[in-house]
Amino acid sequence: MSILLAVSYVAHVVAGGLWTGSVAYAVVSVLPTARSGTLSADGFGRSVDWLLQTTRITGVVLPLTGGYQILELYPLSRLLETPRGHLVLAMVALWGLMNGLVELGVYRMRVADDSGMGFARHTVERFTLDSDADARELAGVARPYVLAATALGVLLLVDAALLAGGLAAL
């Protein structure tokens, strides 16, 4: 294995763990405390922005490192005709769906907060909330999207475990 491939594996696993962990943390901790009213609008806004920035940064690292691994390890026939190749394609699909759900959930919060922000502007601006924003309501808006993203994250981790050697026959 080349050094570059090894580095891509490390970066890919670290980025994937950080991202899936961030989404899970949002579901387990951030959304429930915001919905209960114990998390201020400012604290909720910072937490959502952190999730959004993590999604965006890993949204660059994961396709770059994963794409490199695909180019190095999966000729088209192996990608399309083997169980391991199918797991790789499933990982790409799960990643895209999960990433899209997080972005959409945050965008829907912006729409619900009446920020007047279009989707194009949403993709380049950080997430902030005024102190008078209703964190309870906004957490409720984001909840279904982040829950779905978390479910996909679990599937993504199972997929990664299978690729890492969970099924030797693959």
Q: How many domains are contained in the chain? A: 1
Say if residue 170's pLDDT is above 80: no
Residue 131 DSSP class: T
Share of the chain above pLDDT 70, in %: 97
Global model pTM greater than 0.85:
yes
Residue 71, domain extent: 3-166
Average pLDDT of the residues in 2-13: 94
Question: pLDDT for 71-93, tens place per residue?
Answer: 999 999 999 999 999 999 999 99
Calculate the CA dihedral of residues 70, 24, 147, 134 and round it to 10 degrees: -130
The pLDDT of residue 164 is 86
- Taking 60 as the threshold, does the pLDDT of residue 168 lie above it? no
pLDDT the model gives residue 126: 86
Distance CA 122, CA 118 (A): 6
